[in-house]
Amino acid sequence: MKAFTENMRLALGTLSTHKLRSTLTVLGVVIGTTCVIAIGSILTGMNRRVVDELQSFGTDNIFINKFDPGIHIGRRNRAERMRKPISVEDYEAVKAACTACRQVTLSLTVPTMDNARYKNEEFNNVGFYGVLPNWPEVMNQPVAQGRFFTDAENLHRNDVVIIGEDVRKTFFLNQEALEKRIWVNGHEFEVIGVLEKKRVQSIGNDSSNDRDIFAPYETFHKVYPSTKEHFVVAQAMPGMISQAMDQARTALRRSRKVPFNEPDSFGMATADSIIEQFHQITGAIALVMVVVSSIGLLVGGVGVMNIMLVSVTERTREIGVRKAIGARRRDIILQFLLEACTLTGSGGVLGIFLGLLISILIQVLLPSLPSVVPLWAVGTGFAVSVSVGLFFGMWPAVKAARLDPVVALRYE
């Protein structure tokens, strides 16, 4: 322990003597560690946000759409592009056949940018949907003020809507929202309810579903009689999601007349499957991160080896003196390995600090982009930086330990 302490003191003394040289040497290690911390914090934050948001809609829900719900990368093939939209008949088939489902709901939308207006105030890029009365129960979207519409209001196509919290704050910040009349895409509706603010924010937006406006399904169909973009959500009984998916798939294939030897002409997903898909994407990004940071660490490691070889040459007489007074080979190896590890370790600490600083700046400047620094990234960054010093410092340390003390003492 005493030898270790003494060698650590010598290592720190050497680094403090050559501050500029040491800083330039570990620059690659700093960059590599910073990349690990910064990108790791963004990926971890995004992962938590996506998981929380999807689970907030219900872990027993099955999402059914024309395309596979979830994240899609690249161009869809011709067969996918030719798919027919999910129809009301498909919804009725799932509802009738899925005995493992607690309830099934339906929504309708138009592929346009929606806008809402109240008096002279406008709110652009809202989400406008026609849904069934059981939508808030299935999608876990409780009403904070007022109420949701009833089956009778849906059947009679009443011009009523329920608005999200952001819509309420925009139009009715200092007044009561209920019984007010707003215009959505040029059509007038009465506000009968306000949805509870979502606890989980969406990535890239200020809020999740707080910009949405919901009208009764039949009312929406009256306003947009030609639209066919349906979205079905089936809520499975607890512990029966696999059976519910099988029953829903069978019903949809029969309803859409899909031949037994043809693939599904629709998409189905659960919160868990979408989360798994997102994990695969973030895993690929993490792999790229490892490659990029490895380049920086490799450059830093080569620099460390180079500077340690120079240090061995510069301190040849010192090594000869130490050997002459009894220093063993392992003492010399330990001395130079500690110097190398201290050099790269200090670079790792600086990289961790810069990564934490970047994460804090992201939280302040881009609050919609989640950033959480994971402990594994901090530990990995420091451990890898020290390992770089251990690996690349081994050859200079062994070279120093093998020096002949007589030759070393005569070195000029």
Per-residue pLDDT at 104: 93
Per-residue pLDDT at 157: 94
Per-residue pLDDT at 130: 94
Q: Check whether residue 252 and residue 346 sit in a common domain.
A: no
Per-residue pLDDT at 403: 73
What residue type is 37 in one-letter code?
A: I
Query: Position of tokens 């690249």?
Result: 74
Per-residue pLDDT at 307: 78
Q: What is the phi-psi region of residue 202: left when phi exceeds 0, alpha when psi lies from -120 to 50, beta otherwise?
A: beta
Backbone angles phi, psi at 227, to 5 degrees: -75, 145
Whole domain around residue 373: which residue ranges? 2-52+277-409
Q: Check whether residue 119 and residue 193 sit in a common domain.
A: yes
Q: Check whether residue 222 and residue 87 sit in a common domain.
A: yes
Q: Check whether residue 258 and residue 404 sit in a common domain.
A: no
How far CA 119 is from CA of 82, 161, 193, 213, 391, in Å, comes to 42, 17, 19, 17, 70
Half-sphere exposure of 380 (CA within 13 A, CB side): 19
Q: Check whether residue 285 and residue 236 sit in a common domain.
A: no
Sequence-distant (6+) residues with CB within 8 A of 209 are 127, 141, 164, 195, 198, 202
Last residue of a domain, one of 213, 242, 269: 269
Last residue of a domain, one of 228, 251, 269: 269
Q: Check whether residue 254 and residue 136 sit in a common domain.
A: yes
Q: Check whether residue 294 and residue 395 sit in a common domain.
A: yes
Q: Is the pTM of this model over 0.85?
A: no
Total residue count of the chain as it appears in this document: 412
Q: How many CB atoms are closer than 10 A to CB 255?
A: 19
Q: What is the pLDDT along the chain (412 residues), one digit of tens a residue?
A: 555 566 566 666 666 666 666 677 778 788 888 888 888 888 888 777 777 777 667 678 899 988 877 665 657 777 777 788 889 999 999 999 999 999 999 999 887 777 899 988 888 888 899 999 999 999 888 899 999 999 999 999 999 999 999 999 999 988 899 999 999 988 999 999 999 887 555 444 444 568 899 999 999 999 998 888 899 999 999 889 899 999 999 999 999 888 888 888 888 888 888 778 777 877 887 788 777 777 777 877 887 888 777 777 777 777 777 777 777 777 778 877 888 888 888 888 888 898 888 888 888 887 767 777 778 778 888 888 888 888 888 888 888 777 776 665 665 5
Sequence-distant (6+) residues with CB within 8 A of 231 are 63, 64, 65, 86, 106, 107, 108, 109
Residue closest to 316 by CA, chosen among 245, 209, 204, 402: 402
Q: Check whether residue 341 and residue 283 sit in a common domain.
A: yes
Q: Check whether residue 184 and residue 103 sit in a common domain.
A: yes
CB distance 191 to 159 below 8 Å: no
Half-sphere exposure of 39 (CA within 13 A, CB side): 19
- Total domains in the chain come to 2
Q: Check whether residue 174 and residue 237 sit in a common domain.
A: yes
Q: Check whether residue 32 and residue 85 sit in a common domain.
A: no
Last residue of a domain, one of 269, 303, 321: 269
Q: Check whether residue 361 and residue 404 sit in a common domain.
A: yes
